[in-house]
Homo-oligomer: A and B are copies of this chain.
């Protein structure tokens, strides 16, 4: 290979490595001068000790480059980059999956504690000393995590990092409160428990939630503006309504100005319509105009405007987020590149250095894959990677490498007869006729289920007899799955999401059959999932495939939005429990307007006696699970004022503030969810329109594919290089490659690297032109990374501060 052993890094990282080299220099045996942390080779023969020290300093460089690339990938800001050797060890300790899992579990444990703290879920109730001790334990763990962070960041960066400081303060508060609880052996009013989700949000694995929260906060200013307009109209109409309707004694909704405002706030959610109109309407039919105008302005105009404004902001924020991520990655790549080039050849990264980097960046990657990744990056064919080539780092890093198969089918290597049989099956399952026949079966099955269910009109009797239709259809589905599995081969079969869906529904149906046959009561619900099979019918039409694919694509983001919502729920649930636990019960709230919904009593109407059951006492804050259900009901909004008025009548009228705040918060989150779905869908549509190709065409299903050709001589050379020069021990993957090359009989072999397409790839294609502009703007105005390096190279102060930290 082109780079010899005597290459010296352009930049030396971290003080101890450079001090090692300096030591050599002091002994006078080295061939290098170190000026301002930059190694300058002096002529002369290589010395083994100097070489050893050089190797160590390269290793340090690889590690730091790997850390830069990780920071680029995770969008960690560079000012939290470890600056010294002991910061590095803390950094490495705090950056691995074990630590992340611990962090997550601690946070989840802390949140779950509210299941057991009073007011607890009945069957999970724990004694005060148990849950307080658990809490202290968890908090101690959090404190330990923060300690590691302090060690890694240094004190100054630590107190500059806002999120960490907030976390520290909350931790301190919770600690004190937990101790107080333990000492008093009873829980006091602990509203601060509502802050617990902060620990969860700060977890490494909850990055998506953090991003959602940031997006919510970024969308807030325009949202609040429009909200004020909304509330302004509400107050104007409240004054108007009070003036118009307060004279009517039968109208409780507008009797005072406060009632007017509350009524119109609830009307904004439509929850009390048309009841709120009825007393006025029964007195004067024209009064409906007031309500129609109010709803037209508020509900149909300003509420939609709210969505429009959020959607517009969201659009912009998404693009900016993508831009900043992209430029951050670019900057990380530049940092890493500078650390990987040698003094002798400052324009390129050799395989040796790339391999060194990858051993830190992806320790599990095989030597063959590291080599193939290098080849994939190195599209110019030169021996070194240029910076331009290295910019593609993040695009190729996730590729899974495989030798391109010479044959088409998995059964190519089988004997002739078997091949023909499988080939026949393959042709069968790929034929249109087979597909449509299956659609027909599914459709018939659907109608069957509908008719069957409709005939059970007197309630479902769990007869424990398996109906024959169930067996027939299941057999057909089973045969289909088997045919497809054998015809396409398991790899091809399971690579399609639709097939996976078919497979799992069929397997569930079989489990249901077994449950039915063996009388396992709790598994009956599986039987009921049968109609899901019908979802396959939607594969027929392009639009449905698009919609359902979008649905699957959106799922991770939706899940993180759901988690964000749950975090808001948690905080509100804690506050609700602290203030409203146990305030509603059957037959409470008798002096409120919603007494009916809580009444559970025999009522005499005329001469009949009826049991009136008002179930609303179930919508309470008695424990965290009930609170969540209640809050979900409040989110759906319909009849939410019944819960609000019930609780209000048993507490003070300030309680309404809690409910109204909750409504506004969920409105924000829900609007963002709608904006997100709109944005994702419109983006996808625009994408497929721009590229004039439907997104689900087979090309696309493969995802991103890179191909690279390896010749026999190249493979042997590389093996040699790895064995002798790099000293890598685990070379089985490379050796296998060489063997495969020899066996194939060809002089070269093509390897394919695949990965699934991500939103980032789509964005790259969508914003193609803009990305070029961004890059130019970035390299024109934002010279930070280069500047930083030059400063490190040139100025003695920077060098000094580097070794002090």
Contact = CB atoms under 8 A, between A and B. Distances in A.
A493 to B, nearest CB: 25
B308 A678 contact: yes
A532 interface: yes
A489 to B, nearest CB: 32
For the side of the interface on A, what is the size category? 35 or more
B281 A615 contact: yes
A282 B239 contact: no
A728 interface: no
Contacts of A271: 638
B257 A453 contact: yes
B682 A308 contact: yes
Given A243-B460, A453-B243, A678-B304, A531 B236 contact: yes
SS class, residues of chain A in contact with chain B: helix
A515 interface: no
A165 interface: no
A600 to B, nearest CB: 10
Nearest to A258: B454
A244 interface: yes
Given A225-B544, A604-B603, A681-B312, A257 B292 contact: no
Nearest to A257: B454
B636 A273 contact: yes
Given A235-B450, A279-B615, A615-B279, A225 B541 contact: yes
A395 B619 CA distance: 63
A254 to B, nearest CB: 9
B239 A453 contact: yes
Contact of A629 (B247, B288, B459): B288
Given A603-B603, A618-B278, A538 B638 contact: no
A273 B643 CA distance: 12
Interface stretch (A294-302, A378-386, A399-407): A294-302
Contacts of A794: none
B449 A239 contact: yes
A32 interface: no
Interface in A30-74: none
A457 B599 contact: no
Nearest to A610: B595
A588 to B, nearest CB: 14
Residue picked from A551, A625, A629, most chain B C-beta under 10 Å: A629
A632 B272 CA distance: 14
A304 B676 CA distance: 10
A534 interface: yes
Contact of A547 (B226, B257, B292): B226
Contacts of A222: 543
A685 interface: yes
Contact of A528 (B225, B244, B453): B244
A636 B270 contact: yes
Contact of A638 (B235, B527, B543, B638): B638
B599 A682 contact: no
B247 A460 contact: yes
A308 B606 contact: no
A613 interface: yes
A240 B531 contact: yes
A282 B605 CA distance: 25
A681 B615 contact: no
A198 to B, nearest CB: 26
Contact of A681 (B292, B308, B606, B636): B308
A257 B544 contact: no
A232 B636 contact: no
A65 B433 CA distance: 59
A256 B453 CA distance: 9
Nearest to A613: B250
A532 B257 CA distance: 17
B274 A625 contact: no
B239 A450 contact: yes
A229 B544 contact: yes
A126 interface: no
A282 B674 contact: no
A282 B547 contact: no
A285 B544 contact: no
A637 interface: yes
A579 B273 CA distance: 25
A673 B307 CA distance: 13
Interface string A280-321: 011001001000100100011100110111011001000000
A246 interface: yes
B678 A307 contact: yes
Contacts of A460: 242-243, 246-247
A275 B244 contact: no
A444 interface: no
A633 interface: yes
Nearest to A248: B459
Interface in A598-632: 599, 601, 603-606, 613, 615-616, 618-619, 625-626, 629, 632
B307 A674 contact: yes
Contacts of A616: 278
Interface in A622-677: 625-626, 629, 632-633, 636-639, 670, 673-674, 677
Residue picked from A226, A271, A685, most chain B C-beta under 10 Å: A685
A605 B601 contact: yes
A639 B274 contact: yes
Contact of A247 (B272, B307, B459, B532): B459
A544 B240 CA distance: 23
B677 A308 contact: yes
A86 B236 CA distance: 60
A548 to B, nearest CB: 8
Contacts of A242: 453, 456, 460
Contacts of A308: 677-678, 681-682
Nearest to A240: B528
A307 to B, nearest CB: 7
Interface in A676-709: 677-678, 681-682, 685
A694 to B, nearest CB: 15
6 contacts: A229-B538, A229-B547, A239-B450, A246-B459, A282-B615, A307-B678
Among all A-B residue pairs, the 8 with the closest Cβ atoms: A278-B615, A308-B681, A270-B638, A246-B459, A236-B531, A304-B677, A274-B633, A273-B638
Given A275-B615, A304-B677, A305-B547, 7 more contacts: A222-B543, A232-B538, A240-B531, A250-B613, A255-B459, A274-B636, A308-B677
